[in-house]
A = this chain, B = another copy of it.
Amino acid sequence: MRVFGVDPGLTRCGFGVVDGGAGRTVRPVAVDVVRTPADLDLALRLLQLSDAVEQWLDRYQPQVVAIERVFSQHNVRTAMGTAQAGGVVALSAARRGLPVVFHTPSEVKAAVTGSGRADKAQVTAMVTKLLGLKTAPKPADAADALALAICHLWRAPMRSRLEEAQARAADIARTHRARLAQAGAKAPAKPTKTGGRSQ
């Protein structure tokens, strides 16, 4: 599976493409940082970013797009720009029918370093090691984009196992409710207030 990881931003937007193989093997495909000028109109910055995303989707043909989920930042203005950038990236993927998944920064850190509180240097070091890169990807946004893609590749099997388990649990609950209803049709329709469920 090929994943396009995006660390969204207007000033710097990290792009990273990673292929997942058997087990936990991951292979780097491409990494870069897209910048848009701070003195340009917001709408035009979003347009430049969107064009760059389209180029990468054309060139690398990923099967999934993983985007960092922004929760909050100290600077509200930056947070809004980051959210807008993420929205534009998600839109491009959705237009092509590609699944888009959001991962939080702590999920990404935990996936590649084992700790949700790891710092940027640790994330960069692990990404460099896991992908067998000769030099560390710079700036941090580039490393983060690769970490996002790795996080998605490693979480995806867990996610599908979880979804299967949830579907199975829902099946069991449905069967159980059906049996209860059948039993209810034979037994008194409504248990007394103190009956049935107490104890």
Contact = CB atoms under 8 A, between A and B. Distances in A.
Interface in A1-51: 41-44, 46-47, 50
> What is the copy number of this chain in the assembly?
2
Contact of A80 (B46, B50, B83): B83
Interface stretch (A91-99, A128-136, A165-173, A180-188): A91-99
Contacts of A72: 76
A86 interface: yes
Interface residues of A, number: 27
Q: Determine chain A's interface SS by DSSP, over half rule.
A: helix
A110 interface: no
Contacts of A41: 94, 99-100
A123 interface: no
Contacts of A99: 41, 43
Interface of A: 41-44, 46-47, 50, 70-72, 76, 79-80, 83-88, 90-91, 93-95, 99-100, 102
24 contacts: A41-B94, A41-B99, A42-B100, A43-B93, A43-B94, A43-B100, A46-B87, A46-B90, A46-B91, A47-B94, A47-B95, A71-B76, A71-B80, A79-B83, A80-B83, A83-B83, A83-B87, A84-B84, A84-B86, A84-B87, A85-B87, A87-B88, A88-B91, A91-B91
